[in-house]
Amino acid sequence: MATIKPIEGRSVHQIQSGQVIVDLNSVVKELVENSLDAHATSIEIRFKNNGLDSIEVQDNGSGIGPDDFESLALKHHTSKLSSYADLGKLNTFGFRGEALSSLCALSTFYVTTARECDKPKGTKLEFEISGKVKSKSVVAGQKGTTVTVENIFKNLPVRRKELERNIKREYQKVLNLLNAYACISTDVRFIVSNSPTKGKKNVVFSTQGNASTRENIANVFSAKALSSLLALDLKFDLNPSTLPSQSARTWSTQNDVVSREIQLVGHISRPVVGEGRQAPDRQMFFVNSRPCALPQLAKAINEAYRAYNFTQSPFIFANLIMDTNSYDVNVSPDKRTILLHDQTALLEALKTNLTELFEAHDQSVPQSQLL
Ligand code: ADP
Ligand code: MG
């Protein structure tokens, strides 16, 4: 008797979904990015019981039209990418068409949505585990989309237990991530709240739809945080003629010549010995305004900083602006790991530049020259 058999379709779907939505962070990240991709100017994130009971993300973005309801939560259905060739030109956060489909398989999941032309009527959609629409009902609705995720990992008992056990830490990680989105997203209002299973909601933080990242940082971290911030605006030209021969390789993607000019913009707290401690979680990194983990860059900045101040880690808000062909976001399912093709050369140039910046703004700098 044959023993090698296909896994039943529903089980495959659940196994694969567990690789896209791995934790609370990935749920929130995917939903907030969908709202940003839909050009929302206001995003409200509501947690119940730190996200264990429910996570709800409400936006005032484009909304979803009836023609897209059936495919909304189907696997690999996306409005953002239709072929591999588009990948290099991508300017949206999402492109895999996997998040909503995975959430259907892992939670009690529903969506309420209305476009400008549909309001004051909206549609509430419920889904089967497979992502097919189970029910549609007409509800009152403003332009935008609300996605509700209840009881996440309800059918992966081991992961659910793990989440319950570590919920404080997991919830804190989510808040750190939301801080990053709220600080980088100019002209978008963020409101984050949490409520107990039964009881009133608490606003955790909010931003005002500010035009600058400085104002966003003031909203999220306090106005006082601003007084110690230096503006970062460094430019690196990593083109071959400006580099030592060892790192002077040229490369191209799909026959396009890739620019190797990189800009680092943002804010860093100036090195002042003995003044106010900054926790390491106040370090945020972005590539073209996409929040991501850049441990090597973090290490380089922290090392340059420590040359001046051994006791503290700085507040860092660092956004690398670079050619979209010079890095690859398609490395990990959560797209937080980014492969920078020019990393070694960049880090060398960065350390030199930062040292110069810190020297110029050493402790003796008068307040008037600070931001
Ligand atoms: P992806 O973002 O990779 O396309 P998702 O599963 O996250 O995949 O979303 C599937 C599709 O659903 C998106 O391509 C988009 O068209 C639509 N969508 C999801 N969330 C929203 C939202 N908040 N507002 C408008 N459209 C949305
Ligand atoms: Mg998405």
CB 233 within 8 A of CB 241: no
CA–CA distance, 315 with 281 (Å, rounded to integer): 8
Does the beta carbon of 349 sit less than 6 angstroms from any atom of ligand 1?
Answer: no
Q: What is the CATH classification number for the domain harbouring 52?
A: 3.30.565.10
pLDDT in tens, 222-236: 877 777 788 899 888
Query: Distance from the CA of 68 to the center of ligand 1, in angstroms?
Result: 10
Domain assignment of residue 13, given as a range: 9-214
44 lines ligand 1 (CB under 6 A): no
The CATH number of the domain holding residue 227 is 3.30.230.10
Query: CA torsion sign, 181 to 184 to 189 to 195?
Result: positive
60 ligand 1 Cβ < 6 A: no
Last residue within a domain, chosen from 193, 214, 235 = 214
Other beta carbons within 10 angstroms of residue 3's beta carbon come to 4
Please tell me which residue, 164 or 10, carries the higher pLDDT value: 164
Same structural domain, 25 and 147:
yes
CB of 94 sitting under 6 A from ligand 1: yes
The model's pLDDT over 289-309, given as tens digits with 9 standing for 90+, comes to 989 888 888 888 888 888 776
Q: How far apart are CA 368 and CA 134, in angstroms?
A: 62
Number of domains in the chain: 2
User: 355: which 2 tokens?
Assistant: 């040292």
Task: Indicate if 187 and 101 belong to the same structural domain.
Answer: yes
Output the CA–CA distances (angstroms, integers) from residue 276 to 225, 270, 354, 357, in the order listed.
10, 11, 21, 21
Q: Is residue 105 in contact with ligand 1, taking CB distance under 6 Å?
A: no
- Mean pLDDT for 159-184 is 96
- How many residues does this entry show for the chain? 371
For the segment 187-227, what is each residue's pLDDT rounded down to a tens digit? 999 999 999 999 999 999 999 999 999 999 999 988 777 77
Centre of ligand 2 to C-alpha 56, Å, is 15
pLDDT, tens only, 87-146? 666 678 877 788 999 999 999 999 999 999 998 999 999 999 999 999 999 999 899 999
How many A from CA of 262 to the centre of ligand 1? 30
Query: Do both 306 and 171 map to the same domain?
Result: no
Model pLDDT, residue 87 = 62
Work out the mean pLDDT of the chain and round it to a whole number: 84
Ligand number, closest to the Cα atom of 115: 1
Q: Are residues 231 and 194 in the same domain?
A: no
Cβ–Cβ under 8 Å, residues 273 and 311: yes
- Tens digit of pLDDT for each residue in 57-93? 999 999 999 999 999 998 888 887 666 666 666 678 8
Q: Would the ipTM clear 0.85, i.e. be above it?
A: yes
